[in-house]
């Protein structure tokens, strides 16, 4: 089976491990097409080559890098005509120009096309994106949903197939694993890693910090439009040296980052146009044996399950109480750390995600043969 995967997400080196695991299957011949760079806000994410065994990872040109809806790949048809894939895995939402064009080009070369969706809010897009989405939903040969709410959205929009729920990426549990925490004279470190934007609720973490003992410190890793506001809030709350802001870390460094955390917090809040679609930092931290605290936003409670603490959205008092619970109950902290690691091993490893994705490919190809 010849499979071509088109994915801007795979510029991140850690994510490429999924491709190696897919390519381990003896009946899979995998080629992954990626842009040389994807721009997230003002920050370019350049292609990292970290896990490239057993398959072909090829750069192709991209137009409108950083524009989620309008980006596309001008040489894709020529690439597909050369590769002659049986299946094209379009790692994009159905309402994007890249997905629409890739699906049409896939069918032009006789390949089956599947798409991926995280979208967990029922939103109506303006033309032409509404038209692009309608075409993709009615002509795609398969769909992967990153969460159960995305399945509900796809069905509400008229998709008549049976989407498979498979998170986009898992965790390599051999790389993300527990480490002994260094002794820091009673210091308790809360970590956050992600975008510094309003919907991620980092201001709630700072508000909670103001009510916590002086030995509690926060390390906030990320970049985004709210950074200056958060710096000012930290000053207003007299947090001083108890809060450290750091730039985003390369994916390969994240296991070492988690090793310095006593707990990780993801305090996301729902917006009219967004709610948390997964929260990858949760499973990374859990794999590293770091207890997690998350809000009730979107998919967070489903990811955490009984392996962490969940608090109501926009409730800094409840977040403060959750942090205190971990600070004051080391046995509970240890129990949640073990539960988190076990939960990742049971359902969120990169190998499991790869295996479920290959099963999807085989199902789509089998339906083609029967048709």
CATH of the domain at 310: 3.40.50.2000
> Is residue 72 located within the same domain as residue 18?
yes
Q: Is residue 277 included in any domain, yes or no?
A: yes
Listed residue (78, 65, 150) closest to 116, CA to CA: 150
Of 182, 180, 140, 179, the closest CA to residue 162 belongs to: 140
In this structure, are 324 and 353 located in the same domain? no
The per-residue pLDDT for 251 is 82
Residue 284 tokens read as: 């990374």
pLDDT tens digits, 178-207: 987 665 668 999 999 999 999 999 999 999
The reply to whether 181 falls in a domain is no
Do 341 and 366 belong to one domain?
Answer: no
- Is pLDDT at 307 greater than 70 in this prediction? yes
180 occurs within a structural domain: no
Q: Measured between alpha carbons, how far is 265 from 191 in angstroms, rounded to an integer?
A: 6
- Whether residue 16 contacts residue 219, with contact meaning beta carbons closer than 8 Å, is answered with no
Answer yes or no: is 124 within a domain: yes
For the chain, percent of residues with pLDDT exceeding 70: 97
User: Does 18 share its domain with 153?
Assistant: yes
Same structural domain, 228 and 255:
yes
Same structural domain, 197 and 339: yes
Please indicate, yes or no, whether residues 73 and 164 belong to a single structural domain of this protein. yes
For residues 195 and 340, state if they share a domain.
yes
Q: Which of 255, 125, 107, 108 is nearest to 191 (CA)?
A: 255
pLDDT tens digits for range 252-306: 899 999 999 999 999 999 999 999 999 999 999 999 999 999 999 999 999 999 9
pTM above 0.85, yes or no: yes
- Asked if the structure places residue 292 within a domain, the reply is yes
Between 367 and 307, residue with greater pLDDT = 307
Give pLDDT, residue 371: 38
Burial of 174 (0-12, 13-18, 19+ CB in 10 A): exposed
Are 323 and 361 contained in the same domain?
A: no
At 11-61, the pLDDT tens digits run 999 899 999 999 999 999 999 999 999 987 677 889 999 999 999 999 999
Q: What's the N-to-C CA distance of the chain in angstroms?
A: 17
Strand 188-193, strand 309-311: pairing: unpaired
Domain tally, the chain: 2
Helix (H) or strand (E) holding 89: strand 87-90
For residues 219 and 246, the answer to whether their CB atoms sit within 8 Å is yes
Asked if 232 and 134 sit in the same domain, the reply is: no
Residue 300 resides in a domain: yes
pLDDT at 183: 58
Report the pLDDT value the prediction gives residue 367, as an integer from 0 to 100. 83
- Structural domain span for residue 325: 188-347
Assess whether 143 and 124 both reside in one domain: yes
Residue 47 has what DSSP assignment?
A: P
Tell which residue, 203, 220, 215, 239, has the closest CA to residue 315: 203
Asked whether residue 218 falls in the same domain as residue 322, the answer is yes
Backbone angles phi, psi at 294, to 5 degrees: -135, 155
For residue 77, count CB atoms less than 10 angstroms from its CB and return exposed for 0-12, middle for 13-18, buried for 19 or more.
middle
């Amino acid at each position: 089976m010849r499979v071509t995967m088109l994915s801007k997400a795979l510029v991140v080196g850690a994510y490429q491990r999924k491709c190696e695991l897919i390519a381990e299957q003896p009946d899979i011949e995998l080629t992954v097409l990626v842009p040389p760079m994807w721009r997230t806000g003002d920050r370019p994410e350049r292609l990292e080559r970290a896990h490239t065994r057993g398959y072909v990872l090829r750069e192709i040109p991209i137009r409108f890098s950083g524009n989620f809806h309008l980006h596309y790949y001008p040489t894709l048809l020529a690439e597909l005509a050369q590769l002659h894939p049986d299946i094209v895995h379009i790692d994009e939402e159905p309402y994007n120009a890249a997905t629409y064009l890739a699906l049409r080009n896939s069918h032009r070369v006789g390949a089956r096309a599947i798409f991926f969706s995280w979208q967990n809010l029922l939103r109506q897009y303006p033309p032409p994106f509404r038209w692009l989405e309608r075409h993709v939903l009615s002509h795609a040969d398969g769909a992967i949903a990153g969460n159960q709410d995305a399945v509900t959205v796809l069905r509400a929009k008229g998709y008549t197939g049976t989407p498979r729920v498979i998170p986009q990426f898992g965790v390599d549990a051999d790389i993300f694993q527990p480490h002994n925490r260094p002794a820091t004279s009673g210091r308790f470190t809360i970590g956050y890693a992600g975008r510094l934007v309003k919907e991620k609720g980092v201001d709630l973490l700072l508000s909670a910090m103001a009510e916590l003992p002086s030995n509690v410190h926060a390390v906030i890793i990320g970049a985004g439009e709210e950074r200056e506001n958060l710096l000012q809030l930290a000053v207003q709350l007299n947090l001083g040296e108890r809060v450290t802001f750091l730039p985003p870390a390369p994916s390969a460094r994240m296991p070492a980052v988690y090793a310095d955390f006593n707990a990780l917090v993801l305090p996301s809040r729902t917006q009219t146009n967004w709610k948390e679609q997964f929260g990858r930092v949760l499973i990374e931290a859990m794999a590293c044996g770091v207890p997690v605290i998350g809000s009730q936003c979107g998919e967070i409670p489903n990811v955490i399950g009984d392996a962490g603490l969940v608090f109501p959205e926009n409730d800094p008092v409840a977040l403060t109480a959750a942090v205190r619970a971990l600070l004051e109950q080391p046995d509970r902290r240890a129990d949640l750390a073990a539960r988190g690691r076990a939960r990742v091993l049971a359902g969120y490893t990169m190998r499991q995600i790869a295996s479920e994705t290959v099963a999807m490919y085989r199902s789509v190809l089998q339906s083609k043969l029967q048709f």
